[in-house]
Amino acid sequence: MEHETAAPAPAFELANVRFKDVLDIENLKIEACKVSAIVGPSGGGKTTLLRMLNRMTTPDSGRVLFFGQSVEEMDPVHLRRKVVMLTQMPVIFAGTVRENLLIGCRLAEKEEPAQEAVAAIMERVGLDKELSSDAAQLSGGEKQRLALARVMLMEPEVMLLDEPSASLDEQTEVLIFDLVTEFCCERCKTLIMVTHSEKGFTGYYDTLVRIRDGRVEQVTHKSGKRGG
């Protein structure tokens, strides 16, 4: 059967989205299977924008579409299984490292990942700890990587990362950028990441979205970013 190849549907499309005096976005498309960086001054609305993408925050007006479907029409559990957010200050639950890794899947009512997948993810984020060890004993950077591993285990279609490298040193930051972008690219997942490190993240993103005072100030698409 012959047919024209249509432009791929964006992962997200926002139209006339308003939320209090915090966000006012006329139009924004976020491409699927790409890396998008969200940057801009503090208080500009970056976190609020991410929260709208998995309906943690609902706009006062306008529409947020996920692959063409309004997120308001979707079952929130279903949506949050596919669109997973790692918050700026990740939550570490009382219990073991293993419990902390598996709780994401449990809360999203997803099947428990296999033992090998859990071990592989620990190695990938560079957490050299026993699964039975107490999560509370981890350092700040280790907790952040634990929370990231928890999100990756959920195998979401879209990862929303809110400044995942904020409290990390430069070396660990590079490790995290490599890790999350590789993870998404190899699986054709969509990565949307708020970052302060606009320069440090330059080699990684396909699209840059700058938010200022609740508005989209700039959208820049790069081409042929990877492999170079």
Ligand X SMILES: Nc1ncnc2c1ncn2[C@@H]1O[C@H](COP(=O)(O)OP(=O)(O)O)[C@@H](O)[C@H]1O
Using CB under 6 A, pick the residue from 10, 28, 34, 44 that binds ligand X.
Answer: 44
Residue 61 makes contact with ligand X by CB under 6 A: no
Closer by beta carbon to Mg ion, 47 or else 195: 47
Residue 56 makes contact with ligand X by CB under 6 A: no
What does the alpha-carbon distance between residue 113 and residue 149 come to, in Å, rounded to a whole number?
A: 12
48 contact, one of ligand X, Mg ion, none, CB 5-8 Å limit per kind = ligand X
Closer by beta carbon to ligand X, 45 or else 164: 45
Residue 8 makes contact with ligand X by CB under 6 A: no
Q: For residue 73, what is the DSSP state?
A: G
The stretches of the chain forming alpha helices (DSSP H) are 46-53, 76-82, 97-107, 115-124, 140-153, 170-187
**Helix 140-153 × helix 170-187 angle, to 10°:** 0
What does the alpha-carbon distance between residue 87 and residue 56 come to, in Å, rounded to a whole number?
A: 11
Task: Sketch the per residue contact string, 36 through 55, with Mg ion: x for CB under 5 A, - otherwise.
Answer: ----------xx--------
34 contact, one of ligand X, Mg ion, none, CB 5-8 Å limit per kind = none
207 contact, one of Mg ion, ligand X, none, CB 5-8 Å limit per kind = none
Of the candidates 104, 149, 105, 103, the one whose C-alpha atom is nearest the C-alpha of residue 126 is: 149
Residue 63 makes contact with ligand X by CB under 6 A: no
Q: CB under 6 A: which stretch of 39-47, 93-101, 117-125, 143-151 binds ligand X?
A: 39-47
Residue 106 makes contact with ligand X by CB under 6 A: no
Q: Give every CB contact of residue 226 below 8 A, 6+ residues apart in sequence.
A: 185
Smallest separation, CB 147 to ligand X (Å): 18
Residue 197 makes contact with ligand X by CB under 6 A: no
Supply 43's token pair: 């208080």
Torsion, Cα 41 43 45 46, to 10 degrees, reads: 50
What does the alpha-carbon distance between residue 95 and residue 111 come to, in Å, rounded to a whole number?
A: 20
What does the alpha-carbon distance between residue 196 and residue 159 come to, in Å, rounded to a whole number?
A: 17
Reduced to 3 states, what is the DSSP secondary structure of residue 15? strand
Smallest separation, CB 36 to ligand X (Å): 15
Using CB under 6 A, pick the residue from 20, 106, 187, 221 that binds ligand X.
Answer: 20
Smallest separation, CB 24 to ligand X (Å): 12
Catalog residues that contact ligand X under the rule CB under 6 A. 20, 22, 42-48
